[in-house]
Amino acid sequence: MKQSGTGLSLKTEGRHREERTRAPSGMHRRPLDQEPRRDPKLLAAIGRVAPGTELRQGIDDIIRARSGALIVIGEPAELEFMFSGGMRLDLAFSPQLLYELAKMDGAIILDSDLKRLAHANVQLMPDSAIPSAETGTRHRTAERVAKQTGALVISISQQRETVTLFMGERRYQLDAIADVLAKTNQAVATVETYRQRLDQVLTRLTALEFQNAVVLDDVLVVLQRMELTTRMASEVEHDYVELGSEGRLIRIRLEELMGDVPREKNSVIFDYHAEDGEASIEGALEGLGALSYQQLLESEELAEGLGYPRSVNPLDYAVTPRGLRVLQQIPRLPEGVARRVVKKLEGLDAILRASSRELEAVEGVGQARAREIREGLRRLQEHNLVDRYLQL
């Protein structure tokens, strides 16, 4: 990435350097390696027992009746080695039948597709040498069966009226829907706040780009805000999986908030990575996602992720954008064409100064599209200048 001249016409408006962002409420409920819902298989299992599913309907009926149950979901033929007794059913699954079978002692065996009730009143005999931290007999059995077979095991506590999922080494206790809903609404409000702040720094970055006055720190602030917003949205995604049908409106709102963030993140990295090429972008995205929250606050870590030396002072290091992010804001301009314009003209400043003939020389840009690009860039400059001063 080439270094630009030090144009500071916009920076001398008296702007202050924004403080690094603090963690939003609920951002770090627990370390990532201790968050069981980070496991895609367990998250999928949580979705299978979410509100709106027939399995959850049967579970809720069992809880309302103040009963307990032990339900194993897997291929019956692969589980038969560890149970004895009981009844072979092979009946079509229904919530009502699940509820009635739970009145009996023993475990209930469902097939992997939740289509058939294979066995009921089964005595499970997992390997007793498998360690378990559970105290109750039902939960201890559930944990050992899950660890030994990898099947999804659902333990419903009669006394505490709780539902606990076991899958492999993972254990997850479902919260009350009202509690999950309240927590998720709070998280969505945090995402909205972060999105507003992200829009502010993006608007500011665009203004600086048009003035050829960007320093590396401006880019790092944007990336930091993008990653924080993305991580908070990820927390909400996990919550609405658990909410099932109760989380439909939250899912719609989150999709609306986050719709263009992944593309914006890609284009910012494309524009400012020290090395050109798709491999550099992919590596930077992976590196950004792997940073801890504390590392995300350190400009050295972010700069290194973009291919700059840790010794660089982001506040003094001027950079020039390649121009993809700005071009993507022009309506109806295909991304492939935008990328060819960037490759041909090498930098936003050159694109802004390009004549119609220079634009038409790019493959896929004819006379009409060249005019659209020039008009689109002019409108963006005008609108961005207005937005910028409205925020002051």
Residue-wise pLDDT for 296-323, tens only, equals 999 999 999 999 999 999 999 999 999 9
Say if residue 351 is exposed, middle or buried (CB neighbours under 10 Å; 0-12, 13-18, 19+): buried
Tokens in use for 133?
């931290």
pLDDT computed for residue 262 by the predictor: 93
Say if residue 274 is exposed, middle or buried (CB neighbours under 10 Å; 0-12, 13-18, 19+): middle
Q: CB under 8 Å to 89, separation ≥6 — which residues?
A: 117, 118, 119, 120
Query: pLDDT tens, 340-368?
Result: 999 999 899 999 999 999 999 999 998 99
DSSP string across 278-345: HHHHHHHHHHHHH--HHHHT-HHHHHHHTT--TT--TTT-B----SHHHHTTSTT--HHHHHHHHHHH
Q: Which residues pair with 108 in a beta bridge?
A: 71
pTM, entire model: 0.77
Cβ distance 83 to 144 under 8 Å? Answer: no
* Contacts made by residues 363-369, CB under 8 angstroms, sequence distance 24+: 364/334, 364/336, 364/337, 364/340, 365/337, 365/340, 365/341, 369/333, 369/337
Residues 110, 90: Cα–Cα separation, whole Å: 9
Fold for the domain defined by 175-321:
Ferritin (1.20.1260)
Query: pLDDT tens, 206-239?
Result: 999 998 999 999 999 999 999 999 999 998 988 8
46: left (phi over 0), alpha (psi -120 to 50) or beta: alpha
Q: Which residues pair with 298 in a beta bridge?
A: none
Mean pLDDT in the chain? 88
Residues of each domain in the chain carrying CATH 1.10.150.20: 323-392
Query: pLDDT tens, 155-208?
Result: 999 888 899 999 999 999 999 999 999 999 999 999 999 999 999 999 999 999
| Phi–psi pair at 88, nearest 5 degrees | -85, 120
For 38-174, CATH gives: 3.40.1700.10
> What is the pLDDT averaged over residues 259-275?
94
Is residue 11 predicted with pLDDT exceeding 70?
A: no
Residues 114, 106: Cα–Cα separation, whole Å: 19
Q: What is the CA radius of gyration of the chain?
A: 28
CATH number, domain 323-392, options 3.80.10.10, 3.30.70.1060, 1.10.150.20, 2.40.50.100: 1.10.150.20
> What is the pLDDT averaged over residues 270-279?
88
Q: Which residues pair with 119 in a beta bridge?
A: 88, 109
- Of residues 263 and 11, more confidence is placed in 263
Query: pLDDT tens, 110-162?
Result: 999 999 999 999 999 999 999 999 989 999 999 999 999 999 999 999 888 89
22 DSSP 8-state letter: P
Tokens in use for 200?
């502010």
> What is the pLDDT averaged over residues 105-109?
95
- Residue percentage of the chain with pLDDT more than 90: 77
Residues of each domain in the chain carrying CATH 3.40.1700.10: 38-174
> What is the pLDDT averaged over residues 250-264?
93
pLDDT-based confidence at residue 24 (cuts at 50, 70, 90): very low
